[in-house]
Amino acid sequence: MATLARASRIAPGARVTERYAEVLSARDVDAVVIATPAKTHAELAIAAIRSGRHVLIEKPLALSYDDAAQIVAAAETAGVVAMVGHLMVYHPAVQALTQLVRTGELGEIYYLSSCRANLGRARSDENALWSFGPHDLSMIDLLVHRAPTSVTARGESYLRPGIADVVFVNLAFEKVMAQVHLSWLNPRKERRLVVVGSKKMAEFDDCSDQPLRIYDRGYDRPSEFADFAEYLTLRNGEVSVVPVALAEPLYAEVQHFLECITERRVPTTDLHSGLRIVSWLAAAQDSLDHGGVPVRMTS
């Protein structure tokens, strides 16, 4: 009841209820946002879809691949607009970084390294992998644009038995590697993604008021020594700030959802992208449960 009272204070014109069935039976409700504990996503999303409502489901899409696949199947049968809340995909700095990668500004991508850590609320319903991981994995998915060949994860449960509060995930792609550090047990807040390419490097720092930088740094091999791997020259060039409009990613995400409904478009973060990320998370969890054994991925 306290939550409903708070919601009423924030949006006094909104109807509030504790009964989900009341939402799905209302004739003036065309779309539903599922922003509930992840373990309830599948049940609530499928009920909304089968009632003919468009749905926006918070990340992760579900806590198992089978549940996520059932949501996808239900949406395809119903023909509704359905998307997953991979918020970082709608961040203007991430969109600008994606353009840098796709236009070849950074050259051939070598590896990506991300950190999403804080001294924050320790969850009891999901571990750091499932709570934080969708953010970084969805960005890596957008930038690398292909599936990993294997996933490895190691972590520890220091605060609550069985709930990993620090996890390190390694994803191996064809010629590309990605490393992800996830934790709510860290001395300071970090939201950073580094992309290292053959020409330049880029850093997205979501804790900075200048979130995207390009580093003209790396190693070059003079053309006259192209046949000799040992002849490399260090390039330590300038650091440039990429101008980025500081728009609110959540607003952009919701606006996109509404546009997809009115224009009957497929969302950027459709349910297939949600299913894909859940498959990576499930592989990482499998590796985590077995002491860091690499899990092979099938295409």
How far apart are the C-alpha atoms of 85 and 32, rounded to whole Å? 13
**Predicted local distance difference test score (pLDDT) of residue 257:** 98
**Predicted local distance difference test score (pLDDT) of residue 229:** 58
**Predicted local distance difference test score (pLDDT) of residue 218:** 83
How far apart are the C-alpha atoms of 34 and 56, rounded to whole Å? 6
Answer whether 194's CB lies under 8 Å from 112's CB.
yes
**Predicted local distance difference test score (pLDDT) of residue 225:** 56
**Predicted local distance difference test score (pLDDT) of residue 224:** 59
Distances (CA, A) of 122 to 41, 214, 248, 254: 20, 34, 26, 27
What are the tens digits of pLDDT across the range 222-238? Answer: 765 555 556 777 788 89
**Predicted local distance difference test score (pLDDT) of residue 124:** 84
In which residue ranges of the chain is pLDDT below 50?
none
Domains of the chain: residue spans and CATH: 2-87+250-280 (3.40.50.720), 89-246+283-296 (3.30.360.10)
Instruction: Using DSSP, state whether 97 is helix, strand or coil.
Output: helix
Q: Give which of 190, 196, 87, 184 is closest to 137, Cα–Cα.
A: 87
Instruction: Using DSSP, state whether 75 is helix, strand or coil.
Output: helix
**Predicted local distance difference test score (pLDDT) of residue 228:** 56
